[in-house]
Amino acid sequence: MKVTYYGHACILIEINDQRLIFDPFIEDNPLAEKVDIQHIEADYILLSHGHQDHVADVEKIYANTKAKVIATHEVAMWFNKRGVDNIHPMNHGGKVTFDWGIVKMVNAIHSSSLPDGSYGGNPAGFVVESGEHAFYFSGDTALHQDMKQIAEEFNLTFAILPIGDNYTMGIDDALKAASYVGVNKVVGVHFDTFPAIKIDKEKSLMKAGDKNIELVLLNIGDTTVI
């Protein structure tokens, strides 16, 4: 799998020729000013919840790609009313099978409203499985026990978890989450974008190392293969 980081919680995963972009927030993120949104290609846009810092660039990316938007019913329908025709509304516990793999919507503990204040349903995370690979994108969330169910059902290669604290898990809870879902590799997101979520990267990497977890902190715009 190829993993590209576009800043904040925005990640592009290439898995078996499918390009999945999660939670696009690029043009309003000064840290991501080098990323050219016009050149992003995607087959799917997956949204964990309706907050601005997760959905700001959906329409721009959709305009160029017509990628299918996968989100909770409320978030998907909100975008549908704004002209996004290619949507796949889901809800928690639901699984959809595509010809290349499956997407399951799983629980998250957070909140969710759309940028205009509309109700955004409940926040979610996703598990994506394709061939031998599977990964978990938790979305903005607190640590919670339901994560253990993911390890019962899937054999994950890695997890994408928030580590910035304040609005989501911090590094200590994220490392517990990694053990709950059964991974020893974590791509950290949702840090440094705002003053309240600035982290000490070295300290986070050391804490992960102490728990034998590989914490991957990508520079914005960088790609790695996992």
Binding residues for Ni ion, per CB under 5 A? 51, 140
Angstrom distance (rounded) from CA 21 to CA 9: 10
How many H helices and E strands in the chain? 6, 14
Give least dist CB 133 to Ni ion, A: 27
The footprint of Mn ion on residues 28-67 (CB under 5 A) is 53
Q: Does 140 bind Mn ion (CB under 5 A)?
A: yes
Residue closer to Ni ion (CB basis): 92 or 211: 92
**Taking the complex as a whole, how short is the minimal distance between the CB of residue 120 and Ni ion, in angstroms?**
10
d(CA 223, CA 5) in angstroms, rounded, equals: 7
By beta-carbon proximity to Mn ion, the closer residue of 134 and 177 is 177
What minimum distance in Å lies between the beta carbon of 98 and Mn ion? 27
What is the 3-state secondary structure of 37-69?
Answer: HHHCCCCEEECCCCCHHHHCCHHHHHHHHCCEE
The yes or no reply on residue 165 touching Mn ion (CB under 5 A) is no
Nearest approach in angstroms of CB 73 to Ni ion is 18
Token pair in block for residue 190: 């949702």
Query: 38: exposed, middle or buried (C-beta count within 10 Å: 0-12, 13-18, 19+)?
Result: exposed
From the list Ni ion, Mn ion, none, pick the one residue 165 interacts with, judged by a Cβ distance below 5 to 8 Å according to partner type: none
Of 51 and 104, which has the nearer Cβ to Ni ion? 51
Sorted by sequence, the CB contacts under 8 Å of residue 110 that are 6+ apart come out as 49, 123, 139, 140, 141, 142, 167, 168
Q: Would you say 47 or 213 has its CB closer to Ni ion?
A: 47
Per CB under 5 A, does 173 bind Mn ion? no
**CB of residue 142 vs Mn ion: minimum separation in angstroms?**
12
Where along the sequence are the contacts to Mn ion (CB under 5 A)?
53, 140
